[in-house]
Chains A and B, each alone.
Chain A
Amino acid sequence: MSTVLSDGVIHVSDDCKACDHCTFICPTGAISGVLGQKHHINPQKCINCGQCLINCPFNAIYDLSKVEELKKVLADSQKFVVVQEAPAVRVALGEEFGQAPGTNVKNKMYAALRKLGFDRVYDTEFTADLTIMEEGTELIHRVYGALGVAGFENVGPLPQFTSCCPAWIKYAEDNYPLVLPHISSAKSPQQMWGAVAKTYLAEKLNVNPANIFSVSVMPCTAKKYECERSEFIASGYQDVDLVITTRELAQMIKDAEIDFMGLADEEADRFVGLSTGAATIFGATGGVMEAALRTAYEILSGESLGKVEFDAVRGLDPVREATVEVPVKALGTSLPVSVCIVTGTKHVAEVIEDVLAGRSNYHFIEVMNCPGGCINGGGQPIRRDTY
């Protein structure tokens, strides 16, 4: 087993000042230590989310890094190195180069990655769209199953939970095994991308998948753990070989002395690099839900949405709920789809308890570990704003 799986991604260094701030940040109680005592993370309980890391006042928490390995791979001409970047990266990477939070730098990011030596530059947003197709279809099947439509008897229970956040997945596996059947079987966009890169993309580009080295740039430390989980080998290889964070990418760009803001805009490569607005908002809490609603609504109703924004699912409150009336052409009726959005794993236990006790009448529940969604992930630039 890789060290990441056994020891976890997140560790406390000797610089710990024993301030005890992190024990409150941690959603799982994985951090032990009291005020005055150096703290320690229990890798069994830790879900690798990195929230403690970005919130440690003394930067005493670090994540295991594979940047050095990546630099070697990039220098190796035998390897065909491909890269995907999560939606949240593009609105935060610029902060490391003097831009305000929220500044979109995706086209400069593509350019910088090419300059760093990646052979092809794609985008996780492509598989975010793919996730919507698969996960959305799964949801429709589960709804049909619950309504007793023939042919959907064994499709899994409602409500369906999202599955994009590996921190949330580990939390559920560790603490609520009974809720696992409720979690969408769709892989996260990162892992879907890994699986199609070494199959579909290899076919399209006519490269030997064994030579493909698949990298992803994530706002997230838990993704480092996710990519090494032993079940992600559907392509016949480890689907995603290596994950770096937004911070690490920024550091690589600085190390390579690339004038990031001076780069000309570029686009992602074709086949698995095209994205939509629906995929872009995956990085924000409620974004997966909104993207799913856009697609589910149009497919179920057969009508085109006038206004694509679902304001009801937006916001930053840790637990939000909304009901959306969806006309279902196949059934000839209208279905009130009831959804819930949780951001911050701390707040999910209550929602799960309700589901397990049968008190929940939601259809679809989005869970993101990080408060605000992936844009505030454990791999994002660390901010210490005072005004």
Chain B
Amino acid sequence: MKLFHESEGITRRQFFKGAGMLTVAAVISGVFAKFGFDVFAASDDYIAKRVAGLYTLDESMAIRKSHENPEIIQIYKDFLSPGKVECVSPKAHHLLHTKYGNDIPGFIAELKNPHLVHEAEPAANEETSTEEPAA
């Protein structure tokens, strides 16, 4: 019985086809990787843009410091520390401050029982009112 087989070895053309395919595969991988890196770079650009948006808005505001906000001055004078601007006043302490972790159950009990609240109100800080900013 006759057996037939292919001739061994490669021609120049065949070599370039083989090498060419490997190169093409490498190039495709490279393009894919490039795409990956571009997406990587672009994917969180929006963070910087939103931050920039806030800073731009800040620059456009007439008042740029918290203690100059007229409504802030008003809430202290009318409500939190009647007649003056005093931070951490008893009322401010009651409404605007909190406790964390294991202190919370006791804190809730204080809040629910107004008598306790008054006793727990810190007596300190009274002489330390923040200077009233020139409005």
- List A residues at the B interface (Cβ < 8 Å): 87-88, 90-92, 95, 100-104, 106, 126, 128-130, 132-134, 136-138, 141, 151-152, 154-155, 163, 169, 172-173, 177, 180, 183, 185-187, 191-192, 195-196, 199-200, 203-204, 230-235, 270-281, 283-285, 287, 291, 294-295, 298-299, 302, 305, 308, 314, 316, 371-373, 375-376, 380, 383-387
Contacts and interface: CB of A to CB of B under 8 A. Distances in A.
B55 A284 contact: yes
28 contacts: A90-B57, A101-B50, A137-B88, A141-B88, A185-B99, A186-B96, A191-B98, A195-B96, A196-B79, A199-B95, A200-B80, A231-B104, A231-B107, A234-B94, A272-B71, A272-B75, A274-B71, A276-B63, A276-B66, A277-B65, A279-B66, A291-B66, A294-B65, A316-B48, A383-B43, A385-B42, A386-B38, A387-B42
Contacts, number: 229
Given A284-B51, A291-B66, A372-B47, A187 B98 contact: yes
Interface stretch (B1-9, B11-19, B26-34, B120-128): B120-128
Nearest to A343: B47
Contacts of A295: 65-67
Contacts of A154: 124
B52 interface: yes
Contacts of A126: 69, 71-72
A233 B53 CA distance: 34
Given A102-B56, A277-B60, 19 more contacts: A87-B54, A88-B50, A92-B50, A101-B45, A104-B53, A126-B72, A133-B72, A152-B128, A196-B96, A276-B63, A276-B64, A280-B54, A281-B54, A284-B51, A316-B51, A372-B48, A372-B50, A376-B46, A384-B43
A130 B65 CA distance: 11
A279 B45 CA distance: 23
A203 B102 CA distance: 33
A373 B98 contact: no
Nearest to B38: A387
B58 A130 contact: no
Nearest to A315: B51
B interface residue count range (under 10 / 10 to 19 / 20 to 34 / 35 or more): 35 or more
Contacts of B130: 133, 137, 299
B108 interface: yes
A385 B45 contact: yes
Nearest to A94: B53
A187 B131 CA distance: 22
Contacts of A92: 50
A270 B71 CA distance: 8
A276 B68 contact: yes
Given A132-B67, A274-B70, A299-B130, A376 B102 contact: no
B59 A298 contact: no
Interface of B: 38-39, 42-61, 63-72, 74-76, 78-80, 87-88, 92, 94-104, 107-108, 111-112, 124-125, 127-128, 130-131, 133
A91 B87 CA distance: 30
B75 A196 contact: yes
Contacts of A177: 101-102
Shortest 6 CB-CB contacts between residues of A and residues of B: A102-B53, A277-B64, A91-B53, A277-B58, A137-B87, A375-B50
A196 B49 contact: no
A88 B96 CA distance: 22
B46 A283 contact: no
A291 B55 CA distance: 12
Contacts of A186: 96-98
Given A88-B54, A172-B100, A276-B64, A151 B124 contact: yes
B66 A200 contact: no
Given A138-B88, A270-B71, A277-B61, A375 B100 contact: no
A231 B98 contact: yes
Contacts of B43: 383-386
Contact of B97 (A134, A172, A272, A385): A134
A320 to B, nearest CB: 13
B51 A308 contact: no
B54 A287 contact: yes
A291 to B, nearest CB: 6
A189 B131 CA distance: 22
A192 B66 CA distance: 15
Contacts of B53: 91, 101-104, 375
B125 A274 contact: no
Contact of B46 (A187, A196, A373, A385): A385
B99 A281 contact: no
Contacts of B76: 133
A316 B67 contact: no
